[in-house]
Amino acid sequence: MPDKDAGTPRVFLVRHGETEWSQNGRYTGKTDLPLTSRGAQQVLSTSKIVVGPRKLIDPASLAHVYISPRTRAQRTFDLLLGEAGKKELVDAGKVSTTEELAEWDYGSADEVSARLDTLIAKIHALHAPNMHGEAPSDVLLVAHGHLLRAFAKRWLKYPLSFPLSMMIEPGGVGILSYQHRNVEEPAFLLGVGFPLKE
């Protein structure tokens, strides 16, 4: 983030890797499918590029990780952080599996909005005292394509019916944050600059 925004907490949205159904465009919902081998490789590639010390997702900067209970999301988290990273976060009590991130499954938009708003309130509570980088407070969400797009709309305070088309590829990463270091001004990051090699 630009220097003026350095230290502003972020929310990383990570979509699970490819499944057999996402490969051919079928909507999965609550069906509990495993990652394909290609899906596992997608996540490992993402991990290699963006996860680690002084990388985009630095485990030392994570205040909490929220994961969908579905197998594909759980496996994505395992692959993304690796055994050592996962153990460190779990041992520190920074990992929660939550139905708030379970895929939509053709449910009511009001129900989905309500559970996402509950999670957003938890994240705002983590972020609010750290808007100037007082303590590491990034949050990682590992979930599903439809649900993460719905989360982004609710983060921006739009109803789910708001016509905002978004895409996130299997194993992909999206980023949400705030403008002006203000928890009342949620924003999404359209692009990131990568650190210069020192």
CA–CA dist 104, 149 (Å, integer): 11
Average pLDDT over residues 67-93: 96
Average pLDDT over residues 24-51: 85
Site of tokens 């496996």: 75
Kindly tell me the number of DSSP H helices and DSSP E strands found in the chain.
5, 6
Site of tokens 């350095």: 6
Which phi and psi angles does 55 have, rounded to 5°? -105, 180
The two tokens of residue 73 are 């999301």
Amino acid at the residue 2? P
Q: What whole-number percentage of the chain has pLDDT above 70?
A: 88
Pick the more confident residue, 2 or 125: 125
CA–CA dist 47, 172 (Å, integer): 10
Length of the chain: 198
Q: Is pLDDT above 70 for 127?
A: yes
pLDDT classification of 26: cutoffs 50, 70, 90: low
Give the model confidence (pLDDT) of 99-113 as tens digits: 999 887 766 899 999
CA–CA dist 40, 143 (Å, integer): 15
CA–CA dist 122, 22 (Å, integer): 30
The two tokens of residue 193 are 């600059």
The two tokens of residue 165 are 């088309």
Q: What is the pLDDT of residue 7?
A: 84
Name the pTM for this structure.
0.93
Which phi and psi angles does 21 have, rounded to 5°? -75, -40
Average pLDDT over residues 164-175: 93
